[in-house]
Amino acid sequence: MGTLKNKISYVTGGARGIGKSVALGLARSGADVAVVDIDMKTAEGVVREIEALGMRSMAVSCDVTDPADVSAMVEKIVSAWGRLDIAFNNAGICINTPAEEMSFDQWKKVIDINLTGVFLCSQAAGKVMIGQKSGVIINTASMSGHIVNVPQPQCAYNASKAGVIQLTKSLAVEWAPYNVRVNSLSPGYIATEMTLKAPEEWKNRWVDLTPAGRMGTPEELVGAIVYLADDTSSYTTGMDLVVDGAFTCM
């Protein structure tokens, strides 16, 4: 494809799942990719796969809930590669607990990683991009920011993802004058470690409720991210792109 040639990017949660597939997809499209995660051993494996594609890569250890870690992560990438063009803020977790039983720590953990982490990464990347007067931020939201999933209880997750969608729109409005675009991606059910560990009865229900009749694969999100990252999408900002096998149409 080559549409992202010479672009400098990072992917949080890049060690596995959606982040890994997108990291490889960005590299195949010509971008250098920093793989950002708390799991360095797995991230190093992704770095080797990206380098085998002929692109530059580095693993950066970063807990997205820690402001100092996030600043250091962006600084490391910019000092090594000179700029930052594409930030994919994707790290996230889900905890399935009935609302009335959810502990404060469970609630806080989900909000800290999924929403505050996206804010901290967007802020650190945004500062660099505002200075450059160019850049693209893509945040992983979810169809759970639009609908309530069943049968599993996950109120903190759903609230965090609705927050990501509105945070994305807010940043898009604030930073449009600086030529910094901010969009979100809302996947439906995607087969990763996050979902595949669920009980069979949940997974069967999810597939039944999905018009496409199956879960998506992480690779099926790559096109959406490359589209949002590409310079030909220069008027696309403040958008939430839903990729869900038509789940939310019903």
Structure tokens at 51: 């380098």
Contact 190, 145 (CB under 8 A): no
Q: Note the helical H segments in the chain.
A: 17-28, 40-52, 67-81, 104-111, 117-132, 155-175, 193-196, 200-209, 222-229
Known catalytic residue at 134 = no
Nearest distance from residue 80's CB to ligand NAD, in Å?
Answer: 19
Whichever of 129 and 164 has its CB closer to ligand NAD, that residue is 164
Whichever of 9 and 142 has its CB closer to ligand NAD, that residue is 142
Whichever of 123 and 134 has its CB closer to ligand NAD, that residue is 123
What one-character-per-residue DSSP string does 9-71 give?
EEEETTTSHHHHHHHHHHHHTT-EEEEEES-HHHHHHHHHHHHHTT--EEEEE--TT-HHHHH
Nearest distance from residue 90's CB to ligand NAD, in Å?
Answer: 5
Rounded Cα gap, residues 7 and 56, in angstroms: 11
Known catalytic residue at 235 = no
Nearest distance from residue 74's CB to ligand NAD, in Å?
Answer: 13
Taking every pair of C-alpha atoms in the chain, what is the biggest distance, in angstroms? Answer: 51
Whichever of 132 and 248 has its CB closer to ligand NAD, that residue is 248
Structure tokens at 86: 């594409």
Contact 240, 165 (CB under 8 A): yes
Residue from 7, 10, 122, 161 carrying the catalytic annotation: 161
Residue from 142, 160, 184, 186 carrying the catalytic annotation: 142
Rounded Cα gap, residues 113 and 107, in angstroms: 10
Binding site for ligand NAD (CB under 6 A): 12-13, 15-19, 37-39, 62-65, 90-93, 113, 140, 142, 187, 189-190, 192-195
Nearest distance from residue 175's CB to ligand NAD, in Å?
Answer: 21
Which residues are identified as catalytic? 142, 157, 161
